[in-house]
C-alpha cells in the first residue's frame, strides 16, 4: 500500500469517508453507478481500495465495504513509527546544535553581538527552542494568555525533556487559564514531573528567562517581534518582577474551595477596576485574559449584583459606595 499524505487525508475526510458510510447504508455501490463517473468519487474509491476499505465483488459487480480495523493498523502504525523516528532525530539535532550554541557564546563574535537581539516572527520559536534545550538550572515563564503557538504535544515534550535534565520550571498564568482544557492538560503533564505553575489576577506581559542569564520579552505591543536580553542588570530586574508576581500567585493544581472563592473575588475586583478606570471592553478583556464575551458576562454579573440596568447606573452605584476595586 502506498504512503498517504495530507492531501489524501483531506480527500478521505471530505469525500471518501462519507462515501464509505453510504456503501454501508446501501450494502455497496454498483460498479456502473453514475456517481462513479465523477472525478472526486472515483479518486475516493481508489483511495478506499488502496486502504483496504472496499473491494470490487466480481460476482455482483458491486463495490462492497470492508472492516476498517485492518486499514487502521496499516495506516496508523507506520505513521506512529515515523513520528517516533522524527522525534528521536529532532532530539539528536537539538543536542548537536546546542553544543555549537554553547561554543559560539564562548567566542568574541558572540560578545560583539551585544546584550540585545531583536527576533522577528519565524525566528522566535527556533530561538526559544534552542534556549530551552540549553537550559541547565531554571526556566521562568509568564504567559498572560492561554493560547500557545506550539502544539501541546510539542510543548510537553520540550518541557519534559528540560525537567528530566534536572532543571526547574516555574510558570505564571492569569486566573482565566484555569478554564482552558489545553492549559490544564499541559499543567498536569509538567507538574507530574516537578514543574510549578501558579495563576495571578493581574495582567502581565509575556516573558521567559533561562538560567537567569537570557530573557525573551515582546518588543513593544507587537508580539511578532521579540527582544532577547543578555544584559545582567536588566535580566536581574525582570527576574525580580517575576519573583514578586510569583509570591502573589495561587497554585494552579490547588482546588480548595477557599482558594477558588478567592480567585473569583480577585477577578471580580479586577473587573471593577477596569470599569472604574474606563477601559474599553476589548482592552479590559485582554487585561483579564478572557474573551470579550466572557468579560461582558462579568459586567452583567456586576449589574445584577448592584441592581443596575445600565453601565452608567453601575458606574454611579460603584462610585456612590466608594468602591475602588482594590478591596
How far is the first Cα of the chain from the last one, in angstroms, to the nearest whole number? 68
Burial of 89 (0-12, 13-18, 19+ CB in 10 A): exposed
Mark the ranges of the chain whose per-residue pLDDT is less than 50.
Answer: 1-2, 146, 149
**Rounded to an integer, what is the distance from CA 105 to the centroid of its chain?**
30
Structural element, H or E, at residue 205: none
**138-143 β-sheet, strand order:** 116-120, 222-229, 214-219, 207-210, 138-143, 168-174, 196-200, 250-251
DSSP 3: -
User: Pairing between strand 214-219 and 207-210?
Assistant: antiparallel
CA distance 30 to 32: 5
Rg, the chain, Cα only? 27
Count of alpha carbons within 13 Å of 227, Cβ hemisphere only?
Answer: 16
Note whether 186 and 177 are within 8 A (CB): no
Sign of the CA dihedral running 23, 29, 33, 39? positive
- Provide the 3-class DSSP secondary structure of residue 257: helix
CA–CA distance, 268 with 248 (Å, rounded to integer): 17
> Grid coordinates standing for 14?
471530505
- Position 82 scores a pLDDT of 81
What pLDDT shows up at residue 101? 65
pLDDT tens, 193-230?
999 999 988 777 889 999 999 999 988 766 778 999 99
Q: How many CA atoms lie within 13 A of 218 on its CB side?
A: 11
Calculate the dihedral angle through the C-alpha atoms of 261, 262, 265, 271, rounding to the nearest 10 degrees: -120
CB atoms inside a 10 Å sphere around CB 287: 21
Residue 249 main-chain phi, psi, to 5 deg: -70, 160
- Adjacent-strand bridge partners of 140: 170, 209
Per-residue pLDDT, 233: 94
**pLDDT value, residue 1:** 45
Bridge partners of 208? 141, 216
Task: Please report the pLDDT score of residue 172 as a whole number.
Answer: 94
Show the CA angle centred on residue 6, arms to residues 19 and 2, nearest 5°.
80
* The pLDDT of residue 198: 94
User: Strand, helix or coil at 226?
Assistant: strand
Q: How far apart are CA 284 and CA 296, in angstroms?
A: 10
Contact 207, 238 (CB under 8 A): yes
Amino acid at each position: 500500500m502506498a504512503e498517504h499524505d495530507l492531501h489524501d487525508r483531506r480527500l478521505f475526510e471530505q469525500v471518501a469517508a462519507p462515501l464509505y458510510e453510504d456503501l454501508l447504508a446501501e450494502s455497496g455501490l454498483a460498479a456502473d453507478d453514475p456517481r462513479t463517473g465523477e472525478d472526486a468519487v472515483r479518486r475516493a474509491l481508489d483511495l478506499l481500495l488502496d486502504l483496504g476499505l472496499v473491494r470490487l465483488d466480481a460476482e455482483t459487480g458491486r463495490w462492497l465495504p470492508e472492516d476498517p480495523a485492518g486499514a487502521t493498523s496499516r495506516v496508523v502504525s507506520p505513521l506512529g513509527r515515523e513520528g517516533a523516528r522524527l522525534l528521536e532525530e529532532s532530539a539528536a539535532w537539538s543536542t548537536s546544535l546546542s553544543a555549537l550554541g554553547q561554543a559560539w557564546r564562548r567566542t568574541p563574535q558572540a560578545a560583539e553581538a551585544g546584550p540585545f537581539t531583536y527576533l522577528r516572527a519565524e525566528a522566535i520559536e527556533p530561538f526559544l527552542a534552542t534556549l530551552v534545550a540549553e537550559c541547565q538550572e531554571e526556566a521562568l515563564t509568564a504567559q498572560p494568555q492561554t493560547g500557545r503557538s506550539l502544539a501541546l504535544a510539542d510543548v510537553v515534550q520540550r518541557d519534559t525533556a528540560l525537567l528530566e535534565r534536572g532543571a526547574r520550571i516555574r510558570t505564571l498564568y492569569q486566573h482565566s487559564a484555569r478554564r482552558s482544557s489545553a492549559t490544564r492538560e499541559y499543567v498536569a503533564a509538567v507538574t507530574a514531573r516537578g514543574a510549578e505553575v501558579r495563576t495571578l489576577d493581574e495582567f502581565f506581559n509575556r516573558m521567559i528567562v533561562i538560567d537567569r542569564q537570557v530573557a525573551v520579552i515582546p518588543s513593544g505591543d507587537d508580539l511578532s517581534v521579540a527582544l532577547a536580553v543578555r544584559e545582567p542588570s536588566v535580566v536581574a530586574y525582570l527576574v525580580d518582577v517575576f519573583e514578586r508576581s510569583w509570591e502573589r500567585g495561587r497554585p494552579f493544581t490547588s482546588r480548595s474551595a477557599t482558594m477558588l472563592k478567592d480567585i473569583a473575588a480577585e477577578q471580580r475586583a479586577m473587573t471593577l477596576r477596569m470599569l472604574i478606570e474606563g477601559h474599553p471592553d476589548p482592552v479590559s478583556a485582554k487585561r483579564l485574559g478572557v474573551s470579550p464575551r466572557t468579560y461582558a458576562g462579568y459586567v452583567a454579573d456586576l449589574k445584577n449584583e448592584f441592581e443596575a440596568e445600565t453601565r452608567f447606573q453601575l458606574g454611579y452605584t460603584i462610585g456612590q459606595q466608594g468602591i475602588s476595586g482594590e478591596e
